[in-house]
Amino acid sequence: MEDLKEVLLSAVTEAGKIMLHYFNGVFQIDHKEGINNLVTEVDKHAESKIIDIIRARFPSHTIISEEVGEMIKPSDYQWLIDPIDGTVNFAHGIPICCVSIGLLYNNDLILGAVYNPMMNELFFAEKGKGATLNGNPISVSRKADFKTACLVTGFPYKWPDSREHPIKVFERIVLEGLPVRRLGSAAIDLCWVACGRFDGFWEYNLSAWDVAAGYLIVQEAGGTITDFDGAPYNVFEKETLATNGLIHEQMLKVVQGKKI
């Protein structure tokens, strides 16, 4: 496990250096699906560095990364990589973006790291050993009253084929009088739930590389993460609800359109 942890931390910090070098600088920006779904040359540079670091030590491992897709190997290990989560923020000089890498072993998350070099915040979790921020233990908030919660969400560039339009859920929560933030990075949203800055987070249509590391970090910080039915979460699903655990049932009801 120590070798895996060493490679993970090396990968996120080296990719973070690349982000920091280019931040607020000049770089090429391209578009994926939709005009505002961006990818930059920095995403690709950081991704290449991450893959090189992993391949140098674990050439047989499977890699699933946002820009290059799946690099399938007959391995029990899967690295889920987002070289820059929050690319739109990065492209606009907004320092809420990060490198996010999670590691699955036999489909079970065992390691996760999220690094925002602009804010010098490195979140890390190892299964069964808790979560940390810059090496210091973190835990979710202890707020139990949903009506006083501070929440965070995000909106997809392409509206999902879901049971209900995401704006309707957002409207219900705002009409409860709750403060809701929209940061633009699901990985950071999850980490900020894990360290108690937010009490809950929900979002539709995320990809596995967006949430893998943050999912483990929330769990290891004592939080709860499920789908919108309250079923156990899987990073390859498209509905994500993460809370401090104490407000989870109340938040589920609001997301589902039920009375609290």
Domain boundaries, the chain: 2-137, 146-256
* 189-200 per-position pLDDT tens digit: 999 999 999 999
- Single pTM value for the model: 0.92
Q: Which residues does 7 contact at the CB level (< 8 Å), separation at least 6?
A: 53, 54, 57, 58
CATH classification code of 2-137: 3.30.540.10
Quote the percentage of the chain above a pLDDT of 70. Answer: 90
Alpha-carbon span 67 to 15, nearest angstrom:
14
The CA distance from 208 to 205, in Å, is: 10
Among the four given CATH numbers 3.40.50.1000, 3.40.190.80, 3.40.50.920, 3.30.1330.10, the one describing domain 146-256: 3.40.190.80
pLDDT by residue (tens digit) across 98-140?
Answer: 999 999 999 999 999 999 999 999 999 999 999 999 999 999 9
